[in-house]
Amino acid sequence: MPDLVQVKRALISVSDKSDVVAFARSLSNMGVEVISTGGTAAALQAAGVATTPVEDVTGFPEMMDGRVKTLHPRIHGGLLGRRDVASHVEAMETHEIQPIDLVCINLYPFERTVESNSATEQETIEQIDIGGPAMLRSASKNHDFVATLTSPSQYDTVIAEMQATAGSTSLHLRRQLAAAAFARTAGYDAAISNWLSQSTNDALPPRLQLTATRVTPLRYGENPHQAAALYALPGTGEAGIANASTIDGKPLSFNNINDAAGAFKCCRDLQRSFDERVAAIVVKHASPCGAAIGNTPAEAFEGAWAGDPLAAFGGIVAMSCPIDAALAQTITAGKRFLEVIVATEFHPEAIRLLIERWKNIRLVTTPEIGSAGSASIDVRTIPGGLLVQTPDLKIARPSQWTHAAGPPPTPDALVDATVAWVAVKHAASNAITVAGDGRLFGLGGGQVDRLSAARIAVAKAEAAIAEHGAATAASDAFFPFPDGPKTLIDAGITCIVQPGGSKRDEETMQLCNERGVTCMTTGVRHFRH
């Protein structure tokens, strides 16, 4: 097989027409015949680039609303025919098939159509490309002779090599391009498969198709000896940290991204529980150390920071509102230090104030903090495989809870119970949270027994409970024994929210009745291992 293959004919058919005119003109200037289809051909011809319509090659017009145009032996024979096999060359001569040395194809925007959430089912189906993937696969299989481009980001590299080699491409480059093309078609097919599975309500299909696109390499993983990168899952339609924008600051680390994602999800859940109020979350080492709702952004932030100021130092903040100059002044006041702030928007003056206060602060925008989470999947790796589940998207709805013991909950207790319940959902189990005055007072998480979690939570919250005079506690799972509730009640807790369902629930309910403590059961467990 030859190393260098001169490009004499190229087929260009692109949905994303970024830079395609300049690319095609460069090919044409090097004597390459440019073949094209439909809208691409029209764009090239309008720009003055000599173009051969694909129907002149196939002898058939485009038909069926463009569904059929390149599925023809004169196209695929030109892509698949080996130039070093006599029978292939003979077949091409017999059937008047001319070789195609380069294809440039980016596919119908199926993933973008799904992510928009605005297309009908039929509109989405029409964005399933057939001819494009077929040509990419044909060309990539025959990369010994054919160069395959799938992205405008590849144009300059190919043109530079052709200019340096009298209009040829190298085997090394063609192999790289082929690998990228097969990765693209694999991801494209996976997005289609996943969408069809969702439309048939098959959340966990027999064959799980997972493809991800590398967004950026990271300096290292959780620890310096671990390599790491950030990948995005296309076609999910899910807003979040993977597709957020960073306004300023040095690149996010692996741990920054993980904590920012946790803050984003917790803030989203809290905001959805209080539509008319502002939510603020502080996360440190993947657990919320502060959570609050407020009537104003400043009130929400101050409440979240007050949850555990010691832990909050060097933490990550997420807020469900834009950050304006007034809020930035509140955030930067005192001896505080933050690594990352996640918000829906940053006003210019706020950006200036925050950067002036902390030179390396990362400012991350994601406009959909308050939106519902998508029905994507939760994936965790294990040796030899994956554990897959649907995500925990349950939102705290006190109206759906059961008043199980003690006096009826007050309106304030319901607010605090909601804050505590959202926070405990995002803590590592076993977990107990204590809340009051619309904010988190303390958290005990990641414990191997629930009693220890209760003890840590009340120790963190002791001063706030004493100052407030009452507080509400939440448990991510039921209490197996009444010792946990007793620890909470002895510390001043006046309301407890928990899933219920223990064989010894009656002992807990009896204790609450005897001590005059409200107990509500949710019927929902929030383990997070």
b (16+ CB within 10 A) / e for 252-267: bbbbbbbbbbbbbbbb
Q: What angle do CA 392, 320, 522 make, to 5 degrees?
A: 35
Nearest-angstrom CA–CA distance, 131 and 64: 13
Nearest-angstrom CA–CA distance, 141 and 402: 62
Which helix or strand (DSSP H or E) is residue 72 part of?
none
Which helix or strand (DSSP H or E) is residue 339 part of?
strand 338-343
Question: Which residues are bridge partners to 444 per DSSP?
Answer: 432
235 close to 376: Cβ distance less than 8 angstroms = no
Give residue for tokens 């959340």: 203
DSSP codes of every residue in 478-520: --SSTHHHHHHHHTTEEEEEE----TTHHHHHHHHHHHT-EEE
Question: Which residues are bridge partners to 147 per DSSP?
Answer: 102
Closest-CA residue to 80 (of 153, 168, 148) = 148
Nearest-angstrom CA–CA distance, 430 and 446: 5
Number of Cβ within 10 Å of residue 272's Cβ equals 20
471-475 vs 432-436, strand pairing mode: antiparallel
Q: How far is CA 362 from CA 100, 342, 359, in A?
A: 48, 8, 9
Catalytically annotated residue among 88, 141, 347, 394:
141
Question: Which residues are bridge partners to 443 per DSSP?
Answer: 433
498 close to 478: Cβ distance less than 8 angstroms = yes
DSSP H stretches of helix in 325-449: 325-332, 348-357, 411-425
Q: Mark whether 141 is an active-site residue.
A: yes
Q: How many CA atoms lie within 13 A of 332 on its CB side?
A: 18
How long a stretch of residues is the chain?
A: 529
Q: Mark whether 426 is an active-site residue.
A: no
- Rounded to 10°, the helix 297-306/325-332 angle is 20
Catalytically annotated residue among 17, 88, 285, 347:
285
Residue type, 162: M
As given in the structure block, the two tokens for residue 265 are: 């999800």
Residue type, 209: Q
Active site residues: 141, 285
